[in-house]
């Protein structure tokens, strides 16, 4: 098996770091991302930074302005509503298929991820834990292409609400909804799990819309 080159590894690391910074709301919508500034900050050459920016553009997080460069993508309220509508359609369908396929081991995995998430306080930990929780919920369906689409949709919307979540606010509802999902999966009640997930994503959508800058 071929091993990845140093350049490829560096590019992947830079992509992950920039995605994390976008998730945390470091840059506002429309903010330019300059290759030379990022390269200097991270202590790498401009090549992996350029590759990372193009990867994030392909994921829908950045947009290229001809003759100007890369900018953080602006999402309108209409954009967010469409993205969440797609999330509800795809994720609910995946969950309904996954529920009867869950085993004691896969449910234990979901519960383990949630236990760590219950103790998380940092935004980056919330984001990583929530993504892992949902992927573990859907994993038994073994729908690779659907999961890829879900990841891309999440990358587009996560930064609008996670950076503004605080313990005791939306985070509490988020915690309760996750545990309701686990209970429904434990009962092998696909319809109940789907209803909880629909409500969970609807509340998350409201949080994302509320986080949009007021115009």
Cβ atoms 94, 143 nearer than 8 A: yes
Q: Give, for all 215 residues of the chain, the pLDDT tens digit.
A: 333 444 456 888 999 899 888 887 788 888 999 999 999 999 999 999 999 999 999 888 899 998 889 999 888 999 999 999 999 999 999 999 999 999 999 999 999 999 999 888 777 788 889 999 999 999 999 999 999 999 999 988 888 776 655 544 556 677 899 999 999 999 999 999 999 999 999 998 988 888 787 76
Burial 9-46 (b: 16+ CB within 10 A, else e): ebbeebbeebbeebbbbebeeeeebebeebbeebebee
Q: Which helix (H) or strand (E) holds 195?
A: helix 190-211
At residue 26, the pLDDT reads: 87
CB burial of residue 119 (10 Å; 0-12, 13-18, 19+): exposed
3-state secondary structure of 10: helix
pLDDT at residue number 190: 98
pLDDT at 4: 42
The H-or-E segment that residue 72 falls in is strand 69-72
What pLDDT shows up at residue 74?
86
Looking at residue 57, its pLDDT comes to 92
Domains of the chain, by residue range, sit at 6-72, 77-211
Q: Which CATH topology does 77-211 take? A: 1.20.120
CATH number attached to the domain at 6-72: 1.10.10.10
187: tokens are 């009962």
Confidence (pLDDT) at 192? 98
């Amino acid at each position: 098996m071929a091993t990845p080159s140093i350049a490829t590894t560096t590019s992947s690391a830079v992509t992950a770091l920039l995605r994390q910074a976008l998730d945390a709301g470091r840059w506002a919508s429309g903010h330019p991302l300059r290759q030379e500034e990022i390269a200097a900050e991270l202590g790498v050459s401009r090549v992996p930074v350029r590759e990372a920016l193009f990867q994030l553009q392909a994921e829908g997080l950045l947009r290229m302005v001809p003759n100007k460069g890369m900018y953080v993508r602006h999402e309108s309220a209409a954009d967010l509503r469409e993205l969440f509508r797609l999330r509800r359609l795809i994720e609910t369908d995946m969950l309904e298929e996954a529920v009867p396929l869950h085993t004691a081991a896969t449910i234990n995995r979901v519960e383990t991820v949630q236990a760590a998430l219950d103790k998380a306080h940092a935004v980056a930990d919330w984001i990583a834990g929530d993504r892992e929780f949902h992927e573990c919920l859907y994993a038994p369906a073994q729908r690779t292409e659907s999961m890829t689409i879900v990841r891309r949709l999440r990358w587009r919307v996560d930064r609008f609400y996670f950076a503004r979540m605080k313990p005791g606010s939306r985070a509490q509802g988020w915690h309760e909804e996750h545990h309701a999902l686990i209970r429904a999966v434990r009962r092998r009640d696909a319809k109940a799990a789907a209803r909880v997930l629909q409500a969970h994503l609807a509340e998350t959508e409201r949080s994302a819309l509320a986080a949009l800058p007021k115009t």
